[in-house]
Chain A
Amino acid sequence: KAGVTQTPRYLIKTRGQQVTLSCSPISGHRSVSWYQQTPGQGLQFLFEYFSETQRNKGNFPGRFSGRQFSNSRSEMNVSTLELGDSALYLCASSLINGERETQYFGPGTRLLVL
């Protein structure tokens, strides 16, 4: 069974631009969560999607948004990029509920904002 895939793996953007990251969960998994990881803050929860609905949201500004498609694939969008958005963005999938079950992480997208 293929694991969680994320594209692109690396991305360089400039301040003010916007970016869209993609995540394909493990086949059959319906819950997709997004996390931001930085050296100083560690892993921080962005949001969780289940059956195309945002079920949970972390404490990030509205510039961070996401969506989930009927095939459970998910995208995350960051608008008006700031230098502080440079981070590793991780996607994780689980069968139904990432808070109750094991989450399987993708390799991440490393975003650098210049």
Chain B
Amino acid sequence: GAVVSQHPSWVICKSGTSVKIECRSLDFQATTMFWYRQFPKQSLMLMATSNEGSKATYEQGVEKDKFLINHASLTLSTLTVTSAHPEDSSFYICSARDRGNSPLHFGNGTRLTVT
């Protein structure tokens, strides 16, 4: 079945630094990928929709200059958390679909801890 790989699975960084998270579709091409964030004991919150070859579409309240998304190829989208602060500590999850109407396939998430 379709597989989405996310890397790294966890990362610890110091406040003020930037962190890049990669999301790859391993056996299919994904023109659209999604980035979610999940705080402990809460549901997933959609942050942005990543479109190959064009600018990402951010949900209301998500700072596009803080969460930089690049979707340079049909199999790779990256999320960069710039100038990370402790309140950015969260579980970041990406997803992709391989055909227009197919279900979403999710990565296993990246646990970000900002100290």
Please determine whether chains A and B interact with each other in the same assembly.
no
A interface residues (Cβ-Cβ under 8 A, vs B): none
